[in-house]
Structure 1
Amino acid sequence: MDSAELLHELEEDPQTVRDSDERCLALAAQAEATARYAAQHLDERHQIVEDLSTASSHGVWYRFGRHWSSLADSFGAHGTSVASEDSRILLATALAKLERNLVAGIPEHQAQAVEHEPEVRRLIFNVTSFTRIEDSHFFTLHAVLTQLLSNLISPTSGHPGADRIAEDKLALYLSGTREDDVIIRLLDSADPKTNIATLHLTNNVTRNSRPRLVRMLDGPGLRWVSKILGRMDDWHEAHDGRFELACGLVNSFIDQSLQSQLFASLSSPNEPISPSQTTLLKLLDSRLSDSTAHIRPSSSVPNNMDNMEVDDPTHPNRFLIPVFHLLSAYAMTSMSHVPDDARLPKVFEGLVLVCEALSSIGLKVQGEKDLQVGDIGRGAEEGSDGDLIQEMKDPEDGTGLIKPIIESIRSLDDFAPRVNPRANASNGNNNDNGSMTPNRPALPPDQARPLAQLKRNLVQLLGILSFEDIAVGDQVREHGGIQLLLSLTEVDEANPLERPAGACPVRGEESDAGQSGESGDHRRDGSGGGVIRDGRAAPGAREDEEAGKRGRSALRNAESASASSLIAMHTQHMLGSRPVLP
């Protein structure tokens, strides 16, 4: 390619060029053509740079730097230029495209071009003012300049030392100086291409680097993440790639076991849960539900929460347990004393997400147990998912989840009584205590859905925890959970649930267990006076007492087992898509 004309235009004085529409358009046309050629002939980029560096001791990168400085001045608050704004926008866009294409993926080009990164950053700052960030005339320039900045500072390989530029520049952007933090301004753009370029830049400089991700847990970096999380709902509806890129950034935190720190950092004063925390829980639940995802435990995670211990050196998701306690306590207090609390729906949503995340962990552990791969016993390896499940089953107040789950279900029943359309409105409905409450009309779907979903997820989590675990069944029975769960099978128009098949076998299992108390190596001799055991006669009274103890123990175990089966089967009937029983 003949680069003589472009070289001639680049050698012109930058101030002379920016003050002439004709010169601006001429250089823009040459730069645009060369940028297109470089994109189509990637293997010739070294030759293009060499051709543009002849006849000068400074080289092409020095010429680029001079033009960036001149353009940044012209777009500044006190900048002046004879050339029109449109001409200068075209020139800046064309030069950015050319340098972007020449630098991409070539470490030696990046090492030289990064010298004028401050001028590029200053230009970005000047063209992303409050009015210009919303001006569609600047959208293309915003996107291309962001792509150029990304190519200037992003690691070009995974070799040691390749991320030095990214390390230094990210530290500068996060220093707190207003002029240096252009990322937060670019994230305000309404242009999808600018958003995509900004997300690519953020992902590139933080990928596979725990230290750089940790830097983003405070100050300007946290504002970046919070703004990204705040826009993800809109990006999800757009289907243009922004949502996936944002997920990639959040998943980087999860992959590095930083989700507990990030959740704590996103908290808002006097709020039980912030919108950003809710979005993070959605993404974490999606990540935990993905069977192909691998989340490695962290070795050391500092604590950023003031009132809640959320970080754990062995299991990065242990913070979900205190979050559940916090949200459930808030919800129960609010339902009892402040039923019109405007924050209650968001708390319900947070509880649903926490339940789903914990259920995903529980199902994973049960699946590993079924395949004889994992160990969910109390002697499980420290830091394993099984160890977290055992903590959830702990009967102590403030640690385990069985009691707060049952209390939450009971509070939801009191807060939104079941609606039986077959009941006589004048006679009312029987509640759990046998008293009569007036028959109420069904709540509107938008109000009933969060309550129904929360109750469903609470029972689901309880079913997963109690499956094949007699100790959990004991806790459920101790806190009155059996009657409560059976009551959920009643007709409820606001929260339709099927009658579980396990309701009928409860007494049958107890009866069978009682009969099994006199089985085994004991047999009656027909005389009623004693028991023949191993060929020797023993006093009947003592053996009968021991048999009675064994029978009562078996009956108690059967009650717990039937409770576990009932809850698990109840969950299976409510959640046909996520069965608990094999």
Structure 2
Amino acid sequence: MDMKKLASALRQGASAILRSDEACLEVAGDAEDVARYVAQHLSEREDLVDLEDPDDEIIFNALSTFWAGLASSFDPSSSHSGLNPSEGRWASEDSRTQLALALAKLERNLVAGLQPFQAAAEQHEADIRKLVFNVTTFVRIADPKFFTLQAVLAQLLCNLISPASPASGADRLADKYLRLYLSGNREDDVIIRLLDSRDSKTNHATLHLLNNVIRDSPARLYLLLTDVGVRWCAKVLGRMDEWVEAENGLFELGASIFNTLISTSLHARLFQLLSDSSEPITPSQTTLLKILDSHLASSPDPTFTPSPGPHLFLIPLFHQLVRYTSASIGQGADDPRLPKVFEGLILVTEGLNAIGLAVQGRKDRRKYEVESGVSEHVGDEEVVEVMKSPVEGKGVAKPTIALLRSLDTFFPRVNPRSQSSLQASSSSSDNKPTATEELKPFANLKRNLVQLIGVLSFEDTAVGDQVREVEGIQLLLSMTEIDEGNPYLREHALLCVRNLMLNNPANQAIITQMDPIGVLSDDTGELLPLPDKMKKQERQ
């Protein structure tokens, strides 16, 4: 490694080197050697480049002219022009690509985590950004020949503007350039172009950049809710399904951005901004709900959540999706939107169930523990209060029963050991619309809805009264029969009925007044004839 040799080579000037294949490759080789050495000796960087020494500082100054020349040479609108038209054509594209790649590796390694070096390199951020713009055109973004260069340039931008430390002023570049990239100018928004790349390393670097600039900065995090920021978020959300299948770390990096938004209670606003008036729920919103469900399931139980509750938006969303589902099922026509609505409902009910269980857990602990300093009325408690409300349009108990009634016909119960259930399913399909094969995987929505009633009715007779008012007791009792299309529906229904009966004489009276017609087999869940012993009790 010879830093002096590289500096000497750079002194030849960008104009001359960028027009010679031989010179491009020679300088690229020297830069690669230095970049490799720097990567292996990061602690020596400030010794290798002394910014107080004019001879050393020339590295960053010289790089400025090279980035300007490279950006111009890759401009697709003027590919045969040069810094000076009289000086001739550029070197071959491959030679210039090798040079750009080597210089990007060198500067990427030099500036990583060193605030003085970041400040020295800032002078050519605009040219690096222009080069990124030029190598991510519609054609080049899909050309594997440019993938490595795109990735290393993204890594360079990431290292250049990411805060080098928590110290005051270390985030100046992050603040300045995040705002610039979000300004709405097409040439400045290189993030959206890098997110379009099919190269995983480019995506890695871009997601790292986003995570780095929003970390520990509510102000910069809030910038993601601007128009351009929402487009970035939608782009990331649109690729999450692809990334989760790849298992290459991209899904985790993308999810980290949204977990940060959730942790700061900005997800409800983002969810709203991702909406489309022509759709009941958009794909981006669905993916955000998946991340929220995962966050609720994996995060430690909070001792406090802000008020108003950050998850309150799930309740009007629940009502909206229930109305759409009921109307669609009632019409009986094929609805291409229904699968996504079902998916959204499953995610919303899972989220509401998680919140309800967490709130009940805190309530149970307060019975036996003295938790000084813990508020008894926090945001998630508000969510549960609204869910339990008897007011139409707020509470979810009655709409849940109404939807369950529709779904009970739409997704007929299937007990393969019971011929009668198969016949019943067949006869019901003759009268009312039932689910197509495409929709059958969403049948477990019934289980989630039953679980929601069970969670809300636990030690709360008021919810039980609401269920009784819409004849939900009988419906839920009917779901205690085994249903192969709905694993654990029977178990949730049994627990739900138990909660509805507890300390609620009016609900108990409904069962008392019912005439038994048989018993369910513990082994098969099949309805068996009523035993003589029970018949005698019935006559008595």
> TM bucket by the smaller chain?
0.7 to 0.9
Partner residue of 1:345 out of 322, 339, 355: 339
Name the CA distance, whole Å, in 1 between partners of 2:125 and 2:12.
21
Question: Relative to structure 1, is the Cα distance of residues 41 and 294 closer, same or farther in structure 2, using a 3 angstrom cutoff?
Answer: farther
Q: 1:302 — aligned with what?
A: none
Q: 1:74 — aligned with what?
A: 73
Partner residue of 2:287 out of 279, 292, 295: 279
Q: 1:125 — aligned with what?
A: 133
Q: 2:412 — aligned with what?
A: 417
CA shift for structure 1 position 498: 6.7
- Higher mean Cα deviation, 468-477 or 87-96? 468-477
Q: Deviations over 1:291-311 (max 9, x none)?
A: 43759745xxxxxxxxxxxxx
CA shift for structure 1 position 504: 12
Residues 130-529 of structure 1 mapped to structure 2, 5 A cutoff = 130-292=138-300, 297=305, 313-372=307-366, 381-419=376-414, 422-423=418-419, 429=424, 438=430, 446-450=438-442, 452-490=443-481, 492-495=483-486
CA shift for structure 1 position 271: 0.4
Name the CA distance, whole Å, in 2 between partners of 1:226 and 1:436.
42
- Higher mean Cα deviation, 132-141 or 76-85? 76-85
Q: 2:20 — aligned with what?
A: 20
Q: 1:3 — aligned with what?
A: 3
Q: 1:309 — aligned with what?
A: none
- Does the 8 A contact of 2:28 with 2:98 survive in 1? yes
- Does the 8 A contact of 2:412 with 2:434 survive in 1? no
Name the CA distance, whole Å, in 2 between partners of 1:142 and 1:366.
50
Name the CA distance, whole Å, in 2 between partners of 1:250 and 1:54.
45
Amino acid in structure 2 at the alignment position of 1:410: R
CA shift for structure 1 position 33: 0.6
CA shift for structure 1 position 474: 1.1
Question: Relative to structure 1, is the Cα distance of residues 277 and 557 closer, same or farther in structure 2, using a 3 angstrom cutoff?
Answer: same
- Does the 8 A contact of 1:18 with 1:71 survive in 2? yes
Question: Relative to structure 1, is the Cα distance of residues 371 and 294 closer, same or farther in structure 2, using a 3 angstrom cutoff?
Answer: closer
Q: Deviations over 1:136-177 (max 9, x none)?
A: 111111011111111111111112322221111111111111
Question: Relative to structure 1, is the Cα distance of residues 418 and 561 closer, same or farther in structure 2, using a 3 angstrom cutoff?
Answer: closer
Question: Relative to structure 1, is the Cα distance of residues 10 and 499 closer, same or farther in structure 2, using a 3 angstrom cutoff?
Answer: closer
Question: Relative to structure 1, is the Cα distance of residues 117 and 502 closer, same or farther in structure 2, using a 3 angstrom cutoff?
Answer: closer
Measured on the aligned residues, the alpha-carbon RMSD in Å equals 3.3
- Does the 8 A contact of 1:52 with 1:59 survive in 2? no
Name the CA distance, whole Å, in 2 between partners of 1:164 and 1:371.
45
Question: Relative to structure 1, is the Cα distance of residues 346 and 499 closer, same or farther in structure 2, using a 3 angstrom cutoff?
Answer: closer
Question: Relative to structure 1, is the Cα distance of residues 473 and 109 closer, same or farther in structure 2, using a 3 angstrom cutoff?
Answer: same
- Does the 8 A contact of 1:470 with 1:560 survive in 2? no
Q: Deviations over 1:410-449 (max 9, x none)?
A: 1112333345654469x95399xxx977599996765312
Name the CA distance, whole Å, in 2 between partners of 1:417 and 1:149.
56
Q: Deviations over 1:504-526 (max 9, x none)?
A: 9989x98x98xxxxxxxxxxxxx
Amino acid in structure 1 at the alignment position of 2:121: A
- Does the 8 A contact of 2:345 with 2:445 survive in 1? yes
Q: 1:83 — aligned with what?
A: 91
CA shift for structure 1 position 263: 0.3
- Higher mean Cα deviation, 413-422 or 346-355? 413-422
Q: Which runs of 5+ in 1 are unaligned?
A: 299-312, 514-553, 563-572, 574-582
- Does the 8 A contact of 2:197 with 2:203 survive in 1? yes
CA shift for structure 1 position 211: 1.9
Question: Relative to structure 1, is the Cα distance of residues 453 and 51 closer, same or farther in structure 2, using a 3 angstrom cutoff?
Answer: same
Name the CA distance, whole Å, in 2 between partners of 1:446 and 1:437.
16
- Does the 8 A contact of 2:481 with 2:490 survive in 1? yes
Name the CA distance, whole Å, in 1 between partners of 2:5 and 2:271.
55
CA shift for structure 1 position 72: 0.6
- Higher mean Cα deviation, 198-207 or 286-295? 286-295
Residues 532-551 of structure 1 mapped to structure 2, 5 A cutoff = none
Is residue 499 of structure 2 the alignment partner of residue 555 of structure 1? no
Name the CA distance, whole Å, in 1 between partners of 2:492 and 2:376.
36
Question: Relative to structure 1, is the Cα distance of residues 138 and 555 closer, same or farther in structure 2, using a 3 angstrom cutoff?
Answer: closer
Secondary structure of the structure 1 residue equivalent to 2:225: coil
Is residue 60 of structure 2 the alignment partner of residue 61 of structure 1? yes
- Report the structure number with the largest CA radius of gyration: 1
Q: 2:100 — aligned with what?
A: 92
Name the CA distance, whole Å, in 2 between partners of 1:504 and 1:242.
40
Q: Deviations over 1:161-204 (max 9, x none)?
A: 22221111111111111100011111111100001011111111
Percentage of pairs with the same residue: 51
- Does the 8 A contact of 2:221 with 2:261 survive in 1? yes
TM, length-normalised to structure 2: 0.85
Q: Deviations over 1:286-330 (max 9, x none)?
A: 0001143759745xxxxxxxxxxxxxx521101101100110111
Name the CA distance, whole Å, in 2 between partners of 1:444 and 1:184.
38
Amino acid in structure 1 at the alignment position of 2:356: G
Is residue 92 of structure 2 the alignment partner of residue 101 of structure 1? no
- Does the 8 A contact of 2:457 with 2:496 survive in 1? no
Q: 1:542 — aligned with what?
A: none
CA shift for structure 1 position 495: 3.8
Name the CA distance, whole Å, in 2 between partners of 1:271 and 1:53.
61
Amino acid in structure 2 at the alignment position of 1:280: L
Secondary structure of the structure 2 residue equivalent to 1:216: helix
CA shift for structure 1 position 399: 0.6
* Higher share in helix: 2
Amino acid in structure 2 at the alignment position of 1:25: L
- Higher mean Cα deviation, 216-225 or 476-485? 216-225
Amino acid in structure 2 at the alignment position of 1:482: I
TM, length-normalised to structure 1: 0.79
Question: Relative to structure 1, is the Cα distance of residues 75 and 293 closer, same or farther in structure 2, using a 3 angstrom cutoff?
Answer: farther
Aligned positions, number: 499
